[in-house]
Chains A and B, each alone.
Chain A
């Protein structure tokens, strides 16, 4: 038991305790969720202090046997990327509690219980080093999200929840097969051990074998990302989910996919990953442009932001498959940035929904007159989302594109079109929602933010500026870990398909 496992298990304990809060006291459930999620966040902050920034490998490792046969371990640890993803999760959970305060009025107790269970499983996904344990967390995370959408969602919630569940299950079934195959071959579920076996040559894959295993993992992750054309579950899930569900889904859950690619796919199957990089990069670029174009014509705010996520996550995948230091760093940074800015967008859309009870852009207009501070906050998130320099998304997007430019300049040129389009769809939405003259409905229902809402939004805004101006607070540990991943993709067996050589950037500044 160490600090990291405390951060992992606090939400679980909170979930269990939340079940005992009397149903008659929704205020008690809210308070409990807030206290517990804040406590978890504070503990996770301490993780930053104890994390050794000089190391690229895993830290805080805890490894105990969980199930004897087959030998499955409770094996968790933390690296420079998962550190920030865990913090993103613990940071956003209290914000989700706050923005759901008034929003959720029925089954309050269950709602917050599921939220805490979701937090637990998400943290678990980022920490797990035992492949089976990873799979367990991966699957467990589906359950609370399924219920969050299915119970507290909007009209078509059941359709969306089932679609979300089945889509992801289809991918994870493939992944489970691959995990069991790996176990049968390596005799262990321990991920570091498997990597050691690979590095020492005691374990090897035939090219076709490696390709199939890679694809089995990759498809599971790609559905989660979601990578074009596996993305159609996302808009439905977002539109139907309650605000907190959307925030957690976009900000954290999608990163399970990209983190999985970075953490598992690349080191385990480097040759296959490199062999597929061209195809995957093309899909990522299609996702960037396609997601942006489809976002542009959405009449529904949540759908618009959902499609923008398809576009933004395309950058992450592109960065990873550039196989450059800048690309990987940018991808990891973009995971965090997208979590903050898209989380903020969903939270703010949720605030609008609470007031006007509509997600249709056409039902708004003139909100800037009725609620200037809410509009300012939304503008902030909009600008962050379109990658304005000195706000968070710029750093990630810049690094991704710079890294890609070193690998393949044509990819960069295509992907950069997404940056133009992001301005189109976001500003166009902003204009239609916030500018213009306020209609009767807007004037009657839209008021500015109250103290609780401020408390939810301001931390997000602060993070946007911080991550945009002083990326050095976050990048060094990321860089160590991505450098380690990159070096793992350079060793290992040759592959019959000709490999893409990484471009050398020898001249230092």
Chain B
């Protein structure tokens, strides 16, 4: 099947552009970068068209990566239906975003560098989804984190960008800490890191062990998929170019945690407490991030918090055992959120870099293509039937209700908030009158074409690709009763959100301000994102850095340890300087000492009564 070709194409693209790209004309950089991802997409289609992976996992083993004692980890790749969904999303959306980037990045410096990193990202992301064991998955996992770091800090002369890159990498490292500990426990328990071995033996493992593994994996997922308490890096990650936000920080990389959790279902189904934790974290994150999204003025920040919130939905899905619903939402979210980001990128592009929605408005007539395509995404994320988001959100909420009704209600309220903040952003951007001083212009066709494709997918993708049915053989069956009443309530919540947004930002614009004035304290809290960053800084970062400097370095290292070492040295030197007086080189003083010594010895021997 030559599965390795799928990630290899982008890797080759990375190598070619990375080494020679500086000398290439832009057209050649484009051809290499986009061509390699398209080839990869085609190879995915060819692989899946063969049909075999759809009937059961196909595994290919290439070479041994690490071997020590009974531990043996191979570079092995596997394809089953779950991988197939992920492959199509990653290479499909990836191709569209690469094409879009040709237009978006046309006037940016470091053009080849951008595409080289994007290709490298594709390589690692495809490795992640194709991996047949936890450690190879971890290769992709860390690799996408690296590319995320590089692309967030793409404008590396800007301090806020490189700060955001560092933050993303380090917060993810905290998650990786959990992931790697989980991997150590998995090997300790199962003697292997292969998915096939784990899924075969998980049923017989002790629950406490599985719960520990599940919770540690969850920590990893919380890092990568930006869940409480590790979500703080994702909003900052918007410092990167917008196509990066669309590809990495919306459609693909951040969903890796959901994928990994779904992939680990054999562990989770025997660790109910771990699953419950996932569902609770997901519910909390979905609601919490949505509230922050209500008050953001930067268009990308709105969608960033929206991503955090939507990832929370996916966690609810896998947490309540509806793994396929989680993956379903992963797919539809990839469509509409990629579109929202690319669309906002087109807006920003047309306004020469403006991201603050307070300086937008009335763009509907000026950039109609961007407006209409983004509108498709907006109705999809708001859960308006029959568009993409409706299907997957509904599947998750129904499963949540079957598991615990309060999760359904929290999710429904969140759906209302979601519809509100997305349409608030739409209305602020496209309705009313233009409040800025740029000259908005429609984006080139190379950017609009991907928008159009994603718009079609956002509208029709939900009922076109019935993921739960497709994946029914992969995950354990789950009976969720259809409930038209519940469906109606959550749909209504979305429509109410849209209506309120319309009222506040189009019909009566003064209402929004008076609302903010009326709830000043709450608004202030939300506007400042609950001060979570500040709390983390004060509670973790500052004590660690200052403590390391003042206590460990200056105190323990230079003071205590080196102080005593130098102290010993000084004592020796003092002693030596006393002893040195004996070695004066003065023959007469030596003679004196010899005499004194001889007398002392004679006296000593005499007193001991020895010399008789």
Contact = CB atoms under 8 A, between A and B. Distances in A.
Interface of A: 163, 166-167, 229, 231-233, 290, 293-294, 296-298, 324-326, 329-330, 366, 368-369, 383, 388-390, 395, 398-399, 401-403, 405-406, 409, 412-413, 416-417, 419-420, 423-424, 427-428, 431, 434-437, 469-472, 475-476, 479, 483, 503, 505-509
Interface of B: 63-72, 135, 138-139, 142-143, 146, 149, 153, 156-157, 159, 162-163, 165-166, 169-170, 173-174, 176-177, 180-181, 183-185, 187-188, 190-192, 194, 197, 544-545, 547-549, 552-553, 556-557, 561-562, 565, 569
Interface-centre pick from A383, A403, A417, A507 (highest chain B CB count, 10 A)? A507
A390 B7 CA distance: 15
B405 to A, nearest CB: 37
A401 B180 contact: yes
10 contacts: A166-B569, A398-B135, A412-B181, A423-B170, A424-B170, A435-B153, A435-B159, A470-B63, A472-B67, A475-B68
Contacts of B553: 294, 297-298
Contact of A479 (B68, B162, B184): B68
A507 B153 CA distance: 45
Interface-centre pick from B169, B174, B177, B557 (highest chain A CB count, 10 A)? B557
Contact of A326 (B69, B138, B163, B174): B69
Interface-centre pick from B135, B146, B183, B565 (highest chain A CB count, 10 A)? B565
Nearest to B69: A325
Contacts of B65: 469-472
A390 B143 contact: yes
Nearest to A368: B156
A431 B158 CA distance: 11
Contacts of B139: 389-390
A215 to B, nearest CB: 19
Contact of A437 (B71, B157, B177, B565): B157
A480 B139 CA distance: 27
Contacts of B188: 405-406, 409, 503, 505
A293 B184 contact: no
B68 A330 contact: yes
A505 B69 contact: yes
Contacts of B187: 402, 405-406
Contacts of A325: 68-71
A294 B68 contact: no
A405 B173 CA distance: 19
Nearest to B75: A469
B66 A398 contact: yes
Nearest to B72: A509
B181 A475 contact: no
B139 to A, nearest CB: 4
Given A402-B184, A413-B181, A416-B181, A294 B552 contact: yes
B68 A329 contact: yes
Interface of B is mostly: helix
B448 to A, nearest CB: 33
Given A424-B173, A506-B191, A509-B191, 10 more contacts: A232-B561, A293-B548, A405-B181, A409-B188, A431-B163, A472-B65, A505-B191, A507-B70, A507-B191, A509-B197
Nearest to B191: A507
A422 B374 CA distance: 42
Contacts of B169: 423, 427
Interface-centre pick from B66, B549, B553, B561 (highest chain A CB count, 10 A)? B66
A294 B557 contact: yes
Interface-centre pick from A163, A427, A428 (highest chain B CB count, 10 A)? A427
Contact of B70 (A298, A417, A435, A509): A509
B181 A402 contact: no
Interface-centre pick from A401, A402, A420 (highest chain B CB count, 10 A)? A402
Contacts of B177: 416-417, 419-420
B70 A297 contact: no
A232 B559 CA distance: 11
A87 B413 CA distance: 64
A506 B385 CA distance: 55
Contacts of A509: 70-72, 191-192, 194, 197
Contact of A423 (B66, B173, B192): B173
B561 A475 contact: no
Contacts of A503: 188
Contacts of B157: 366, 369, 435-437
Contacts of A420: 170, 173-174, 176-177
A300 to B, nearest CB: 11
Given A402-B187, A472-B63, A427 B569 contact: no
Contacts of B146: 383, 388
B265 to A, nearest CB: 22
Interface-centre pick from B162, B165, B544, B547 (highest chain A CB count, 10 A)? B162
Contacts of B549: 297
Nearest to B547: A293
B170 to A, nearest CB: 5
Nearest to A470: B63
Contacts of B181: 405, 412-413, 416
A324 B71 CA distance: 11
Given A329-B69, A402-B184, A232 B548 contact: no
A428 B184 CA distance: 28
A388 B170 contact: no
- Ranked nearest first, the 6 interchain pairs of A and B with the lowest CB-CB distance are A325-B69, A507-B191, A405-B184, A297-B549, A293-B548, A329-B68
Contact of B142 (A389, A405, A417): A389
B191 A297 contact: no
A401 B170 contact: no
B180 A409 contact: no
B302 to A, nearest CB: 28
A437 B192 CA distance: 48
B569 A232 contact: no
Contacts of B194: 509
Contacts of A395: 66
B184 A507 contact: no
Given A436-B162, A505-B191, A405 B185 contact: yes
Contacts of B569: 163, 166
Interface-centre pick from A398, A428, A469 (highest chain B CB count, 10 A)? A398
Contact of A297 (B166, B545, B561): B545
A416 B156 CA distance: 29
A75 to B, nearest CB: 30
Interface-centre pick from B68, B143, B177 (highest chain A CB count, 10 A)? B68
Contacts of B71: 325-326, 399, 402, 505, 509
B166 A399 contact: no
Nearest to B110: A372
B569 to A, nearest CB: 7
Contacts of B66: 395, 398-399, 471, 475
A479 B67 contact: yes
A402 B180 CA distance: 9
B537 to A, nearest CB: 14
A290 B161 CA distance: 29
B277 to A, nearest CB: 19
Nearest to A232: B562
Contacts of B70: 325, 505-509
A408 B577 CA distance: 50
A475 to B, nearest CB: 6
